[in-house]
Structure 1
Amino acid sequence: MSFHEPFHTPFHEPRRDDCPWCGARRLRTRVRTPDPGRRTPGTFAVDECRDCGHTFQNPRLTEEALAARDTRGRPAPSVERVLGARGIRRRHRAAARAMLPYAEPESWLDVGTGHGQFPEIAKEVHAYTSFDGLDATPRVQRARAAGRIEEAHQGLLADPEITGRLRGRYDVVSMVHHLEHSPDPRAELRAALDVLRPGGHLLVEVPDPACAFGTLLGTWWVAYDQPRHLHLMPRRNLVRELQAQGCEVVATDRRAPHIPYDLTGALCLVLARLRARTALTRACAPLLASAAALDIGLAPLLSRTRFSNAYRIIARRPAGSPAASTA
């Protein structure tokens, strides 16, 4: 299977002329970008709704092509170091600690858990909590085998069979950089509320499409991450959706979830696009180190401004409320 240009490939759905979030027809294209990190052939378009700010892949990959996103191999080494390693323990620990004022959970489901890195680190904060994991790939089974989670559930949370099996089981559901990968974020949110117990909490962290780096860096902004990121949702949209589902939004945060990788990631993507040989990558090592130092050094300031690149929402399902409909 191979990918081609999005406007005449059997691996893309028809292009939308309306926003999948609010239905408005005032769309603009933010970027057309390749995938230099994993070098997937083709170019992918990211559109933005001028009315609500929802940003999405348009046209979207078909179901077959979406499944292939996770089988195309690892990204270029320099990109992987930036996106995967930097500060991941600190960020995961901060997300886990963010739940301390609101819950003493017995049971916790991490959606999009991958290899179970978040539950492994969250256990350091919530030592008496039982963590389960759900992921669309077999990585979740390996996470269970490694002892990072108690139970492994493979598939999509919005699948009625999975939702029905897990209904009302959890005190906390976390989605840490998961919703942007989901074909239907609203369905995922409804399913998350279904598997929460009354009074349970939902923790969501996602990239912020309002981040000024998206405009400044354009194609080279790592949060676009095509073709894997299907939706980038403004904070106000998620807050309103959760409130419409009957939740109380108890906390939002744009500072702690900021990931200091924008400048380094852009440079890594440029090198990957150039298909840089090892010698060139080594020659650029001082430049990469300087970009990394700048990202980290500026993070305390940038996280307080429009350059913050992610946000967190914690919402509470009211005690005694009926399960959300997954229809």
Structure 2
Amino acid sequence: MPATPQPADARRAESPGELAQGAGRFQEPRRDDCPWCGSTHLRTRLRTPDLVRHKPGTFVVDECRDCAHAFQNPRLTAEGLAFYHHDFHAGQAGLDGFAERLLTARDSARRHRAAARAMLPFPEPESWLDIGTGHGHFPEAAKEIHPYTSFDGLDATRRVQRARAAGRIEEAHHGRLTDPEILARLRSRYDVVSMFHHLEHTPDPRAELRAALTVLRPGGHLFIEVPDPDCTFGTLLGKWWVSYGQPRHLHLMPLRNLLAELESLGCVIVTTDRREPHTPYDIGGAVALALARALPAPDAPWRAAPPTAFRRRLRSALVGAAAPLVVTATALDHTLAPLVRRTRFSNAYRIIARTTASPA
């Protein structure tokens, strides 16, 4: 009887061509200055492989000694971003899949509804654009809190069109917010623009902020959540801290930097919050990533040949034996969450800013 085809086999033939020149071709030249403040006083904060999808390559996160902005250096090219983002949402089994699911743990309906409630103290918005909306799960949940608001979504992937087909958003905009055509079409259309864990993926966060203010109406609100690079877990766990998100995260911005940038753009800071945005996945994520790294390599389309049947069975057995450790670590995350949220162990922060005038 022929062997059962494995999911990785569908793309295995493509990957040798993508990698023929080495993973280095997916990276821009290394820069010697900070992309945020221009300082040349840099230090290496992190050096890591792809711990979630196990794609080839080594990725470096540098930090500016002057403004503390952390950034991928060298940065991925547009082609590199496409390669390392491809398959990310395809789903995996075992510890690899667990680590991947942790990175999207903040996408639960409960967390989305809690985020939407943060806008309740302000007038009910007529229109809301969710940037990086993916499948539209945030707008779907937020409608329960804001039933009279029209939610649109924008995403660089075709998922946004599936979100429209599923009725989760009213209008689907496929592309990037900084695209001139999209900016011209959406200028001054929205009362609220949300960016949930979006800015860290963008090549130029400042350009994204300016674009967001362009599509806001005067007096509209910009709602941002991003990983907090000042989180103590990042120091303690090093490359095993899931919020480093390499190679998908290009920037990690300290709260004070984003606040200063928004104020320089004419915004009024309405509120900041390090408690509610915290996602309890740091310890469980670190354990899952470390165990997945230590186990025999999983099958993947970018590997020249699939693992033998013996290695598959061995990996499955070891994953089963290790699973209770991950479950226990995740339970610890949730147990500690009420305390962690009140300390510098909180792993994310939120900003709500209001624009006072139309951007230039």
TM-score bucket (shorter structure): over 0.9
User: Which residue of structure 2 aligns with residue 279 of structure 1?
Assistant: 317
2:243 & 2:22 partners in 1: Cα distance? Answer: 21
User: Which residue of structure 2 aligns with residue 189 of structure 1?
Assistant: 209
1:21 aligns with 2:36: yes
Residue 216 of structure 1 aligns with an amino acid whose one-letter code is: L
1:116 aligns with 2:154: no
Runs of 4+ in 1 over 4 A off after TM superposition: 3-6
Q: Equivalent residues in 2 for 1:52-67 (5 A)? A: 52-67=67-82
State the SS of the aligned residue for 1:313: strand
Contact 1:171 1:201 in 2 (8 A): yes
Q: Equivalent residues in 2 for 1:95-244 (5 A)? A: 95-244=115-264
Identity of aligned residues (%): 69
User: Which residue of structure 2 aligns with residue 250 of structure 1?
Assistant: 270
Change (3 A) 1:87 1:11: closer
Contact 2:69 2:252 in 1 (8 A): yes
User: Which residue of structure 2 aligns with residue 72 of structure 1?
Assistant: 87
Change (3 A) 1:201 1:240: same
Contact 1:251 1:315 in 2 (8 A): yes
1:26 & 1:18 partners in 2: Cα distance? Answer: 7
Match of 1:2 among 15, 19, 24: 19
Match of 2:349 among 300, 303, 311: 311
- More moved, 119-128 vs 272-281: 272-281
**TM-score normalised over the length of structure 1:** 0.94
1:184-211 CA-to-partner distances (Å, cap 9, x unmatched) read: 1000000000000111000000000000
State the SS of the aligned residue for 1:47: strand
CA RMSD of aligned residues (A): 1.5
Contact 1:251 1:314 in 2 (8 A): yes
Structure 2: tracts of 5 or more residues without a match: 1-17, 297-314
Residue 70 of structure 2 aligns with an amino acid whose one-letter code is: T
Residue 59 of structure 2 aligns with an amino acid whose one-letter code is: F
Structure 1: tracts of 5 or more residues without a match: none
1:66-94 CA-to-partner distances (Å, cap 9, x unmatched) read: 22232134452121232224672222111
**TM-score normalised over the length of structure 2:** 0.86
User: Which residue of structure 1 aligns with residue 308 of structure 2?
Assistant: none
Contact 1:158 1:191 in 2 (8 A): yes
Residue 331 of structure 2 aligns with an amino acid whose one-letter code is: A
Change (3 A) 1:3 1:216: farther
Contact 1:131 1:151 in 2 (8 A): yes
State the SS of the aligned residue for 1:10: helix
Structure 1 residue 4 displacement after superposition? 8.0
1:24-77 CA-to-partner distances (Å, cap 9, x unmatched) read: 111111110111211111110001111111010000011211222321344521
Change (3 A) 1:272 1:197: same
Structure 1 residue 274 displacement after superposition? 2.5
1:223-274 CA-to-partner distances (Å, cap 9, x unmatched) read: 1111100001000000000000000000000000001000000111112212
User: Which residue of structure 1 aligns with residue 14 of structure 2?
Assistant: none
1:258 & 1:153 partners in 2: Cα distance? Answer: 29
Structure 1 residue 275 displacement after superposition? 3.9
1:87 & 1:190 partners in 2: Cα distance? Answer: 26
Change (3 A) 1:5 1:213: farther
Change (3 A) 1:111 1:3: farther
1:115 & 1:249 partners in 2: Cα distance? Answer: 29
